[in-house]
A and B are shown apart, each in its own frame.
Chain A
Amino acid sequence: MNTDRTRDWRVAYAKQARSDLQTREAILQHTPRLPSCQDLHYLQMCCEKICKAYLCWRGSDPKQLQSSHAYITNVLPQIVRHHLSRQSRQVQQNAGWVLPAIRRLARQIELLAPSIDSDGSIPSNCEYPWEDSNGKVHVPAEHNFGLDLLHAPAGVFLLKTLQVVVEELSSDTTT
């Protein structure tokens, strides 16, 4: 069910996701040597909002989406699958390896949010310092998150697809 209200929320989430993605790109274009937590933070926020925009487009109640950050693992692969489903059969065949790679990346991106810690086993996040089980305090700006989209299969594909999907879902005319 796509009411005016869910459309408005879909567009709002997507526009904010676009802003997050543009901020990531601006950071990397103009200050590319900042700590990686900064561009990863905007990537995580973009992905979270584009997932919520997609769920609104699929008819979810926007109110139900506001309290959680835990949508990326499940929804980001759905978005990519939907994007691929509109391509030629040849592209879909060639891209058979893309979706499993996106699933791995989606989980890694979701874990960047402070509220997602895999039941306390992965407290690292892009925003706030955290303390590990040995009592050591860690700083996001000094942490290696082990998420390197430049050297990850489908890393480029994911970033390109985000650009496309934020445009589509932020359009008032998308049905």
Chain B
Amino acid sequence: MKDEVAERLAHAHYQLEPTIRLIRRLVADPAREADPDEPIKLLEVNDATTPDGIRPVYFAPHPASGIIYPSLIVEITPQEYDQIMKNNSLLPHDWQLGEVIDRVAAAR
């Protein structure tokens, strides 16, 4: 269920901001991810954002749009994404890079 909601949110964001290049899940350990209050975590690579480091921003659930879990977005530049790809330890809280949600998958 969380996977579906993450794709729904990613789809909404791809549509809202055409400058988003890529959206990717961030995942905590499985026990935490099983908690319904553990936020969906999306890493968004956006050409229109500023290089300010990894700054998670938190959101409440939004049931009206089907986002029934809390969420957290990390918005970064393409250059910052390259740095993370080279060094995963830049991610806080022992998060790991999860699956890429591409525009097509998100739109299904």
Chain A residues at the B interface, C-beta cutoff of 8 Å? 24-25, 28-29, 32-34, 36, 39, 83-84, 87, 90-91, 94-95, 97-98, 148-154, 156-157, 159-161, 163-164
Contacts and interface: CB of A to CB of B under 8 A. Distances in A.
15 contacts: A25-B57, A29-B39, A32-B39, A33-B61, A84-B50, A95-B48, A97-B19, A151-B12, A153-B16, A154-B17, A156-B75, A157-B50, A159-B57, A160-B75, A163-B57
A97 B59 CA distance: 22
B60 A28 contact: yes
Interface of B: 9, 12, 16-17, 19, 37, 39, 44, 46-52, 55, 57-62, 65, 67, 70-71, 73, 75, 77
Nearest to A24: B58
Nearest to A154: B17
Contacts of B75: 156-157, 160
Given A36-B60, A151-B12, A151-B16, A94 B47 contact: yes
